[in-house]
Every structure is written in structure tokens, then in C-alpha cells.
């Protein structure tokens, strides 16, 4: 499998890593859509949110709590930030390894896109 995020997690491709534990890694997005744009990557390869099941509940919760922690670390908590999972091509997913976007540092608009 030639997955970009799996290769980043393995250290084969460089990235700006902000957090790393046995379950998740947080990197800066190389094409930021906001002044702060982080990606929370699970170390387990799962192609899309549609491929998750009840066995992934703890991992998904870990991703959200890590996003909250990183938002606080990046001083986004008080003003606000957005968490986004893109699912499949119609939902804007470009890399088929689930990842949670943490976007902040500017006013977020609605609808988003």
C-alpha cells in the first residue's frame, strides 16, 4: 500500500510533527486553508470514515481529544476553531487515510464550501 500518511507516520516522508503517541500523530498541513491548519492522523490505516466500525470508537475519540488538546496548544480555544473529516471525493477527501482537520486563526464561515 502506498499511502502518503502511512509513509509520513513511518518517517519515510518528512513532515512538521507537533504530537506523536502510539495511536495518533499531529502534523501541520502543507497546504493550509487557515492560519492554523493541523491534521490528526491515526496510526492505524483506515481509508475513510465509512470504513470505521465500533472497534474504532476509542481511536476516533482519541483523535477528537487530541484535536482539542492541540487547539489549546495553538491558542485557538478561546476564539474558536473547526474540526473536519472529509469523506470520499464528493466530501473533499484527497488522501484515503482518515484524518481530522483542525482549522483556526480566522473567522470560519458557514456554509463551509
45, 72, 75, 99: which is the annotated catalytic residue?
Answer: 99
Angle at 81 between CA 43 and CA 113, to 5 degrees: 90
The verdict on whether 99 is a catalytic residue reads yes
- Residues classed as catalytic: 99
Amino acid at each position: 500500500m502506498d499511502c502518503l500518511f502511512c509513509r509520513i507516520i513511518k518517517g519515510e516522508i518528512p513532515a512538521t510533527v507537533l504530537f506523536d503517541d502510539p495511536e495518533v500523530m499531529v502534523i501541520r498541513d502543507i497546504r493550509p486553508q487557515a492560519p492554523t491548519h493541523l491534521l490528526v492522523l491515526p496510526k492505524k490505516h483506515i481509508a475513510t470514515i465509512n470504513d470505521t466500525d465500533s472497534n474504532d470508537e476509542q481511536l476516533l475519540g482519541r483523535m477528537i481529544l487530541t484535536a482539542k488538546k492541540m487547539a489549546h496548544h495553538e491558542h485557538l480555544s478561546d476564539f474558536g476553531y473547526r474540526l473536519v473529516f472529509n469523506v470520499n471525493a464528493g466530501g473533499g477527501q484527497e488522501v484515503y487515510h482518515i484524518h481530522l482537520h483542525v482549522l483556526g486563526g480566522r473567522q470560519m464561515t458557514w456554509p463551509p464550501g
